[in-house]
Every structure is written in C-alpha cells, then in structure tokens.
Chain A
Amino acid sequence: MSTEPVSTRAAADARRLEIRNIVGIWLGMTVLLVIFSLWVPARLMGPPASPTMRAVEQTMTIFSVLASPVAALVWAIALYSLLRWRSRSGIQPAEDGPPLRTHGPSTISWTVTSVILCVVLLIWGLAEMTTVSSAATAANPLVVNVTGQQWLWTFSYPDQGDVESDQLYLPVNRPVVFHVISKDVIHSFWVVQMGIKIDANPGQVTKTEVTPDKIGVFDVRCAELCGLRHADMETSAHVLSASDFAAWITVNGGHT
C-alpha cells in the first residue's frame, strides 16, 4: 500500500471525505424526515375513532418513517451534486466527468434494499388487513343497512325493528357490520374518523366493518363523485354509550 503514488492516495482520501459528507447530509435529512413522519401525517388525520383508523394512522407513520431514509438518500446525493459537483462556469464544463458506467455493489444493494422494503410493506399491509376486518368475525355484531342515493345517506337497523334515520347512530365498543347499497349511481360510504370506506353500488350489497371506540360526533361523507350534489352528500355519525344508543333506538320505535 505504501507504494501507492501520493496523488492516488490523496484522491482516495478526497473520495472518502466526499462519501462522509454525503452520509452526513443523508443522516441529517433522515432525522428531519423521521421527526416529520412521527408528527405530521397522523396529526393531520386527526384523533382516530376506531382501531381501524388507529391502524391506518400507524401505517402512515411507519411508512413515512421507512420512506425517510430513501427520500433522504436521493435528496442528499442530489443536493451534494449541486453543492460540490456543480460546474460554476455557466457554460459547458471544459472536461467530462469520470466515465462510470456501472457499479455492481450499489446497484445490487439498491435493488435488494428496495425488494426488502417492498416485502416489509406487503407483510405489514396483509397483517393490517386481517386486523381491520376482525369486526366482521366478531360475535353479535350490530348490523346497519346503509343506503346511498343521490344525494343522501339513510340508515336502518334491521335487528332493532327497522329503525330508520338520516344520521348514523352507533354504540361505542360494539362491532358493527355495514351492508351498503345504492339506489342509483355509485356512491362511496366513508366514515372519516373511523377510517372505513366502501362503495355503495346499485344492485350489489357491499360490506365493511368497524368497532367505534370513541364517543362523539363524526363525519359521514360520500367519496365517489355522484352528480350534482355530491359535495353535500354528508351526514353525521353519532357514537353513543350502549345505554344512550338503546334509548335512541327505543325513542325511535325500535327494540334492542
């Protein structure tokens, strides 16, 4: 090694320094992005009103954290290339860059890493899918029939004496299965803070399920453009305590 010419060693040192700087920028950006990932997406989505929404927000956070080093790496190299490899003359650089055509290790590690990330995301997603559909297999779920029509939602409770309502009322902590259908065009039944959505199709009953775990008033929106008053096809979802829900059913002529 000591026989190496000084200039080559100096170049190698410079290259090592370069790599160190890029890694520095990369780590710095990664930290910033991770902080962003932990704080922002879930916060914007608001407090979850069901385990489903909690799982979704967790997914958004985890995916953002996982994406942080990837985005940071791309941006760090791009930024460094602008800072240090940029030709400042404003005209065509006098000499060309090094003719680097391939670099096996980086290509292979890049590909392997992205395949691994992809598999992790897939496994996470599949596991999450079983979690969020668990209400469907729960014993004694509350069944709610949801009807979408241009441009209103109506709800009925077949096991409670067909109580009807233009707003959604649910008891807290009881699994609910929604049977969703449309009278006309495609609508999409969306309970925003519970993280569930399923299209209301004409002629086909679709199902979705959730266990609301927070008392409060939430938003039901239509998420599929359904014509003139699509924007106003909204109503409220009221999550009540079990006794308040029973009282609401009774007042509306049903039985529990």
Chain B
Amino acid sequence: MTAVALNEPVAHQAGGGLMRRLNIVTALIGGVTFGTVGWLIAHLLLQDGDHGSDQVVVIMLCSWAVGFMVGIGAFNGPINWLLGRDQTHEDELFLAGKDQGIGRYFRFTTDHKVVGIQYLIVTMVLFAVGGTLAMLIRTNLISPHSNFLSAQTYNALVGLHGLIMIIATIIMITGPFGNFIMPIMIGARDMAFPRLNALSLWLIVAAIPVLLSAAFLGGIPTGWVGYAPLANQAPPGMDSYSVTIIIFAISSAIAGANITTTVLTMRARGMSWNRTPIFVYGTIASVGLAIPAFPMFMASQVLLQVDRTQGGNFFVASGGGSPWLYSNLFWLMGHPEVYVILIPALAALMEITPVFARKPLFSFNAAVISIAGIVGLSVMVWAHHMYAAGWAPDLNGPFMLTTEMISVPTGLLFLVILGTLWRGRVWTTLPMMATYAMLWNFIIGGVTGIYLSDVPADYALHGSMFVTAHFHYTLMGAGLTGAIGALSYWFPKMTGRMLARGPALISFWLVQIGFNVTFMGMFAVGLAGQPRRVVTYAHLFATGNFVSTIGAYTIGIGMLFLLYGVISSWRGGEIAPANPWGAKTLEWTVPNPIPLENFLVMPVVTADAYGYGEPELPPVEPAVDPDRVPAHAGLAAEESL
C-alpha cells in the first residue's frame, strides 16, 4: 500500500492561473484563432501571383500549429522563465498530471505514462483513419473499372493513406511503449526531459489536422513519397504535406534526443549494457536512426516549399534544379525509416519471446550486434529505390551489395528468436502468437525484398504492386504484428487490466489470414505487371485484385474486433496482477496502478532480465542510494508508517 501513498490527493491549489487551465479545448481554440488570423493576414497581403495560394496555405497551417501549441500550454515553461518565475514544486506536480484524473490525458502532461497512453490513442486514431482509406482504396480496386472513386480522389487517398500509415507505424512502438514502458524497464522515474516528451507528442497531435487538411486542399496527388517535380505541380494539399513533415521531423528529433538521453543516462544502478533489455536497444536504435534520417526529409520539404511558394528551382530541371535531388533526400530518410519502424517491433517480439518460451533470450550479443548492424547498413542502401531512376547506373552494383548485406544481420534476428523458442516451454498467449505470425510474414517480406535488391529483377518489378505487397509484408506483417503483440503484452501494465482473449483471438486470425490473402493477391498481380497507385487496371489483373479486396475487408473486420477488445477490456476487463506473465524486466516489479514516479525505492540490477530456468540469484538488496532518493521518499516513508 505504500505505493499508493504517493497518489493520495494533495489539497488542490486554488486557482493556479490561466496556465493551469490549458487543455486540448484551449489548444483547438488557439489553433483555430491563430490559423484564421494567419489566413486573413496572408490572404490580404499575398493573394496575387502564381504562388499566392500556396503562401496563404503555408502561413495558415503554420499559424494553426503555433496557436495549437500555445493553447495546449507548450510554451508555459519558456514564458515563465522569461517572466523570471521559477517553477515551484507544485507546478511540477501539476505538470506531471498529479490528481487530475482523466483530465491529465487531455493536457500538456509530462508524466511519461500519460504521454505513452496519449501516443497509444494517437496511433490508434491514425490507424483508424489510414485503415478507412485502405478500405476505400481496395473498394475502388475491386474491379478494373469500378468507377467508385474518381481518379483525382483515388490519387489523393493513396497519398494520404501512405503518409498517415507511415507516421502511425513510426510512432506505434516507440511512442506508446517507448514512453510508457521503456523508462520503467530501465528503472527510471521519468524520461530525461519530461517536458520535451509532452512537446513531441503534442506536436504530432498538432500535425494531424494539418495532414488531414490536404483532403480539402486538392489532396496529395503524389503518393506518400511526394516526388518532385510532381509535387511542384500539385495543388495546395501538397503544402499540408510539407508542413506536416516539418512538424513531424521536429517532433521526432525531440523524441529522439529525449529517449536516447534517457537510456544513456538514467538506467538503474547495475544495469550495465549487457543487462539492458533488448527492447531498450530496439527503442534507442529506432529513435537514434530517426535523428539523422528525418532532417533529410525536413530539408526536402523546406526546399520544396522554396520552389512552391517562392518560385525557387531546386527540383525544376528547366531552372537548373534536379528531381533526383528530391529523390535522394527522400530516400536518405526513406530507407532508414523502414528500420525505424521495423527494429522496435522486432525488439518488442524479442522481449516477448523469452517470457513465453520461459527461456533466456538466445544469444543476446548477436541480437545487439544485429540491431547495430542493421542501423549501420540502413543508411547506406537508399539508392536501391532508384535503380531505375537513371540517376547513377554505376552505383547500382554497390547499392545491391549493401542491400543484400543487410540480410545477414536481419537473418541473425531470426536465429535469436528461433534459438529462444528451441526446446522452450511455449506458452501461446496473444503476444506469443504475434511472434509466430511475424516469423511467417517477415520471411515472405524479407525474401521478396531480396528479389527487389537484385538490379535486373528490380527493373522488372519496381513501381509494380509487387513492391507494395513486399513492404506491407515487412511494415504490416512484421511491424504492425509486432506492435499488436506489444500491445497485448504490456496492456495489463498500461491499463491495469488484462486484454480479453476472445475478441483479440478472433481479431488475430482475421487480420493474419486477411493480410496474407490481400498481399498474396497483390504479389500475383504485381508479378503479372500491374503498376502501383493506379485507379484502373487491365482485366487480366481482375481476379488478383478481387481477392486482395476481400482480404482487405477481412483485415478491416479483424481490426474492429481488436478495437472492441481494447475498449471493452480497458473499461471493464479482468483486473491484472502486477506481473501476469511471470516476466523478469523491471516494469513488472511496480504495482498497478503505477505510482507517479514509478519506483518508491530505486531498483538495483544484479542480472539481466532473461534468467529463465537459471538458479535464483540472491534477492536484490533494495539499497537506497542517497543520491537517488525519490522526490517524496521522505513523505512516503512517513505516510507508510
């Protein structure tokens, strides 16, 4: 009960000023106000000229974002600092969301657990929107000339679906679980920079309406890659795309700096690198890789906006620019980004597998070296997306080499998981089923990736549905499957309740079967020569597309089952014990609900978290390091008396 002591309500301070009243409603008001004012001013000053409408849209969207961040209270800290006011302890507790009930989820709250839940909700919303678009895309492709959507609408949906899903998959692991679980897993009380943590989350929230505004501004007709010079030509929806990417890049840089600093400096006493759980490696690898990758994307969008709003010629060949500059910048982000998504998903499954095989993680060192190898190689493979671009034919060979090399560390990760399963006591829970599904899907995704790494085969397959199917097998079949595994694994810790097995089980089979049906059909039509991103296609591809559409509907229904399972279990599921899986990482040592600063007594780590089947170590001394006494240790100790 001592744990709960920290959560005892303290007498709520009356008032607290305007800055304590800010929440998502004031944020929306701020955003709309600033956006409207920005639009009015820009409209009056800038309407004329070829670039007028783009300038107006960019100013309006940026004003919205600034207004939203002001309204949520992101600038309270700096404003106080400028006014010469120090944050009191009370302010800090308020900022951490203490005793605010459900309201803290709608505020600029610094508690990493609140931020984690917020990320989870944002991710689910993005998947819902992106999934809806996927259903509509597949509905349009149910027959060769379905005429369900116009070519215009279809192209716009393809771009929106792509970008929404990319953002969702980038944040789906490091957002919810990297924020909620990872700090507890390393024995920290919060992230290194709690306010930056909240900032990175709310920047993404601010960016979502910006992205969706594209639908009302002519759409993103370029696909998610936003290739120039098609992007130079596109309607103002393209400006929504650029502003979204710029905000998202800032957010990911902040999150990356925060998470890496947290892992580097705040691991518990005794948690040496070889005792640090593999999921922590996956998280830090993902955000660490995003740190160099996303500035490339941001730069590409800044240059694009110079072209679009100022009449620059960065990507206009007739003005001395180069479309290949855009493609290079894009893929310098685009390929590392694939691993930004994939590595934490695989790492989560590597964290899960030992728990449910009741065995130590097989060859921890190999797992770490593989992750490092993938990170290193992933920044050297980008031009395999450009074999057929004509940019540098002489580099196709070297890029084929680096691309095929990446299969070695990736393959080693399979060995780590198989070695962990080897003669284990396999407990087939929902998280463990995700591991098995990944083993099936990711082999297919990986092998088809090797076909595409081969230069002549890529000449035949590039830009076809085969590529679409391939990367869905990796990002969805392995990535999203890993995220669903992670959700069902950490659900009890994050919500205090068990995820109901029934709906999740139905969902698992519908999604996995539907997924394989959808993308097997897509492989077939891709091999037969159907291009990507087409609103209409030749009749010879009709059967494969019909099969794909039926599969996609199956996925959609399956996802709704999962949504139901999550909602109903969160509201009224079976109360979870502190450690329902018998796992050994630190997050399972804290009680449910987790106290504000996680640990009453800071843990000291004497072994890694994978000692299944090994003799029990002597009990860990709950030694209190005088430098690391929790903020309320005194208080808590008194109350627990």
Contacts and interface: CB of A to CB of B under 8 A. Distances in A.
B230 A225 contact: yes
Contact of B427 (A75, A87, A195): A87
Closest 7 CB pairs of A and B: A203-B317, A223-B463, A206-B390, A96-B613, A231-B534, A93-B425, A97-B359
A226 B228 CA distance: 10
B454 A125 contact: yes
Given A114-B412, A122-B401, A45 B460 contact: yes
A71 B447 contact: yes
Interface residues of B, number: 88
B543 to A, nearest CB: 12
8 contacts: A81-B426, A82-B436, A96-B425, A125-B397, A201-B389, A223-B532, A227-B221, A227-B230
Interface in B381-422: 388-390, 396-397, 400-401, 404-405, 407-408, 411-412, 414-415, 418-419, 421-422
B464 to A, nearest CB: 7
A204 interface: yes
Contact of A107 (B318, B366, B459, B527): B366
B535 A231 contact: yes
B613 A97 contact: yes
Given A53-B460, A231-B534, A63 B439 contact: no
B497 interface: no
Contacts of B357: 81, 85, 97
Given A87-B427, A110-B411, A129 B455 contact: yes
A86 B426 contact: yes
B342 to A, nearest CB: 17
B151 interface: yes
A100 B360 contact: yes
Contacts of A55: 456
Contacts of A221: 529, 531
A173 B460 CA distance: 20
Contacts of A93: 358, 425, 427
A193 B538 CA distance: 15
B411 A122 contact: no
Contacts of B538: 219
Given A114-B411, A197-B462, A59 B457 contact: yes
A14 B640 CA distance: 55
B314 to A, nearest CB: 13
A175 B107 CA distance: 67
B457 A202 contact: no
Given A97-B423, A231-B535, 19 more contacts: A60-B527, A64-B447, A70-B447, A78-B439, A81-B421, A99-B360, A100-B419, A101-B360, A114-B408, A114-B411, A125-B453, A185-B233, A199-B390, A202-B317, A207-B390, A223-B531, A224-B463, A225-B221, A225-B532
Nearest to A226: B230
Interface in A164-201: 180, 184-186, 188, 190, 192-193, 195-199, 201
B440 A103 contact: no
B581 interface: yes
B614 interface: yes
Nearest to A202: B317
Nearest to A71: B443
A86 B426 CA distance: 4
Nearest to B611: A99
B412 A110 contact: yes
Interface string A76-98: 01100110011100011101111
A56 B537 contact: no
A41 interface: yes
A202 B229 contact: yes
Nearest to B363: A102
B536 A118 contact: no
Given A197-B460, A227-B230, A125 B455 contact: yes
A126 B533 contact: no
Contacts of B318: 202-203
Interface in A110-158: 110-111, 114-115, 117-118, 121-122, 124-126, 128-129, 131-132
Interface residues of A, number: 87
A119 to B, nearest CB: 9
B426 A201 contact: no
B426 A225 contact: no
Contacts of B443: 70-71, 74-75
Contacts of A86: 426, 428
Contacts of A59: 451, 454, 456-457
A229 B536 CA distance: 10
A128 B426 contact: no
Interface string B351-363: 0000001111011
B148 interface: no
A161 interface: no
A251 interface: no
Contacts of B421: 77-78, 81, 85
Q: Which of B152, B324, B414, B444 has the most CB of A within 10 A?
A: B414
Contacts of B426: 81-82, 85-87
A228 B419 contact: no
A46 interface: yes
A114 B405 CA distance: 9
B106 interface: no
B463 A202 contact: no
A81 B422 contact: yes
A126 B152 CA distance: 41
B138 to A, nearest CB: 15
Contact of B229 (A70, A96, A185): A185
B612 interface: yes
Contact of A56 (B362, B363, B397, B457): B457
A125 B456 contact: yes
A111 B408 contact: yes
